[in-house]
Chains A and B, each alone.
Chain A
């Protein structure tokens, strides 16, 4: 939700803005894990395993990268129950179907993300039939991988937003709606009886608005309170 400078209508007070975000998708630091997340990466190419591991480094992630294919079966049948498995579609000497069956039988709770250096429609269909959450073609962008993993874990209820990100998302929704209506902060302050400084803090996510504040804002902006939380809902 990057804001371009020309979006600011004339008459809006110049208020210190939050630091520019580098990336649109949330970085792992913006999300909190509900539990320690067990991640298994299976790829016969060790550098690929390592770069995925580095990309997903997070204090609450326990990541195991496996490129020794002789151990795949034992690892999947083992006692560790993985929350997420990132699987290379083509594993030399192993049938993809067999590995997908192991995952189904021994890791039924695991979410599956398939990565492949051999993109074909057939492989994509097979992956999706094996209830893969996503199918990524190598070389994938690191940002895309992170975004996919976080979206996947959030859908499974394994991650929640940090309170800061939550406030920023609600503030951004309020600001966006205000700009659609071409209203300045001053006008909103006048109509709601809230102070201008307080409103700007809410929009920037620096303070947590009360239910009463959200109610007043929703009436003034002609939306439902729930609309302020729309962007937080997972698909």
Chain B
């Protein structure tokens, strides 16, 4: 299997240590933010019934509540990163796991999604929730990349990874048989300069109102399962996220 990605070699161990520490900090911050928001939003709620509905003050206080609820959504992302997930080696059927998340994706009208998976993919060694969480992050990124509409494809195949391939993936992939799930979009693509920042710089993002937590979350999960991913250009434009999942030992040729 040819892993053609940039950068050429990834120091996943150093990245994992760093993000594991950041995950702990994120959890701590999330807790403190929840406390601060409790009194802030609580007093706003207490003040509102005493103020006429049509008054500017009521309008501003309602906006404060709205801002607070957005902050809660951000806190939930931090907690997702911080959550300690026990590693479960129960095997998963990748096609089935993907089939379950496709219908619940937040797909705008102008984005088309094609899911083309072979019937005979072997089972992979990662629990179904973890796999779905990873793919969900990458699919959300692909859909968001198609800002002016576009096409997202999910394809998959099976192949063998060599030691040289593994060192170019984010994660802890070991040589051997893997299922690769490719999520490709035809958005503007990621420049090599941006790609170098993506995991190296905490909370780096190029998108407004995003927090740069999707890829680190995917990375930390895959790292725990001896799996990995890379980002590569998808043809003339767009990005391909390729996820490499170790095939269950003893599974057929697939």
Chain A interface residues toward B at CB < 8 A: 22, 45, 47-48, 50-52, 54-55, 90, 115, 117-120, 137-143
**Cβ contacts under 8 Å, A119 to chain B:** 79
Complex CA distance for A159 and B32, rounded to whole angstroms: 34
Give chain A residues whose Cβ lies under 8 Å from the Cβ of B33: 117
Select the stretch in B4-12, B36-44, B127-135, B244-252 that faces chain A: B36-44
Q: Choose among B35, B37, B45, B83 the residue with the greatest number of A CB atoms under 10 Å from its CB.
A: B35
When the two chains form their complex, are residues B46 and A140 in contact, meaning their CB atoms are under 8 A apart? no
Q: How far is the CB of B227 from chain A (nearest CB, A)?
A: 24
CB distance from B217 to the nearest CB of A (A): 17
Are A90 and B31 within 8 A (Cβ)?
yes
Quick one: CB contact mask for B1-37 with A, threshold 8 Å, 1 for yes?
0000000000000000000000000010011111111
Contact B38 A139 (CB under 8 A): yes
- Is there an interface contact between A142 and B31, defined as CB atoms closer than 8 Å? no
- Give bound CA distance, A18 to B38, whole Å: 33
7 cross-chain CB contacts under 8 A:
A22-B49, A45-B35, A115-B38, A117-B33, A139-B34, A139-B41, A139-B68
For B65, the closest partner residue in chain A by CB is A141
**Alpha-carbon distance A51/B38, docked complex (angstroms):** 8
Given contacts A138-B38, A140-B38, contact A51 B43 (CB under 8 A): yes
Contact, CB under 8 Å: B49 / A45: no
A141 with B45, Cβ < 8 A, contacts A90-B31, A117-B34, A118-B31 known: yes
List the B residue with the shortest CB-CB distance to A121: B83
- B72 located at the interface, meaning its Cβ lies under 8 Å from any Cβ of chain A in the complex: yes
- In the bound complex, CA of A118 to CA of B30 (Å): 8
B46 touches A55 (CB 8 A): yes
Q: Of residues 43 to 62 in B, which have CB atoms within 8 Å of A's CB atoms?
A: 43, 45-46, 49
9 additional contacts (CB under 8 A) given A115-B38, A118-B31: A22-B49, A48-B39, A54-B46, A55-B46, A117-B31, A119-B79, A138-B34, A138-B37, A139-B68
* Alpha-carbon gap, A76 to B243, bound state (A): 54
* A44 to chain B: closest residue by CB: B35
For A50, list chain B residues within 8 Å (CB): 39
Chain B contacts for A115, CB-based, 8 A = 38
Q: In the complex, are the beta carbons of A51 and B31 less than 8 A apart?
A: no
Contact residue range for chain B?
Answer: 20 to 34
What are the 8 closest A-B residue pairs judged by CB atoms, nearest first?
A: A117-B34, A47-B39, A51-B42, A139-B37, A142-B45, A139-B38, A138-B34, A138-B38
Q: For residue B46, which residues in chain A have a CB less than 8 angstroms away from its CB?
A: 51, 54-55, 142
The answer on a CB contact under 8 Å between A117 and B35 is yes
- Per-residue A-contact encoding for B209-233, CB less than 8 Å = 1, 0 else: 0000000000000000000000000
Taken together as a complex, chains A and B put the C-alpha atoms of A119 and B34 apart, in Å, by 10
List residues of chain B with CB within 8 A of the CB of A117. 30-35, 38
A139: chain B residues within 8 A (beta carbon): 34, 37-38, 40-42, 68, 72
Residues of B within 8 A of A45 (CB): 35-36, 38-39
Return A67 CB to nearest CB of chain B, in Å: 11
Complex formed: what's the CA distance from A120 to B72 in Å? Answer: 15
Residues of A contacting B79 in the complex (Cβ-Cβ under 8 angstroms): 119
Most buried by A among B30, B39, B40: B39
Q: What chain A residues lie within 8 Å of B36 (beta carbons)?
A: 45, 47
Look across to chain B and name the residue whose beta carbon is closest to the beta carbon of A27.
B49
**Distance, CA A204 to CA B229, complexed state (A):** 65
Determine the distance from Cα of A55 to Cα of B41 in the docked complex, in whole angstroms: 12
User: Closest residue to B39 on the A side, CB-wise?
Assistant: A47
CB distance from B47 to the nearest CB of A (A): 10
CB pair A138 B35 closer than 8 Å: yes
Residues of B68-87 contacting chain A, CB below 8 A: 68, 72, 79, 83
B residues within 8 A CB of A142? 42, 45-46
Find the A residue at minimum CB distance from B44.
A142
* Nearest CB in chain A: distance from B191 CB, A: 38
From residue A1, how far is it (CB to closest CB) to chain B in Å? 19
Do A48 and B38 touch (CB < 8 A)?
yes
Contact of B42 among A55, A90, A120 (CB under 8 A): A55
Q: In the bound complex, how far is the Cα of B45 from the Cα of A122, in angstroms?
A: 30
Determine the distance from Cα of A118 to Cα of B28 in the docked complex, in whole angstroms: 9
User: How many angstroms from the CA of A117 to the CA of B37 in the assembled complex?
Assistant: 10
What CA separation (Å) do A138 and B68 show in the bound complex?
12
* Cα distance A120–B83 in the bound complex, in angstroms: 9
- Give the CA-CA distance A118 to B43 in the complex, in Å: 21
A235 CB → nearest B CB, Å: 25
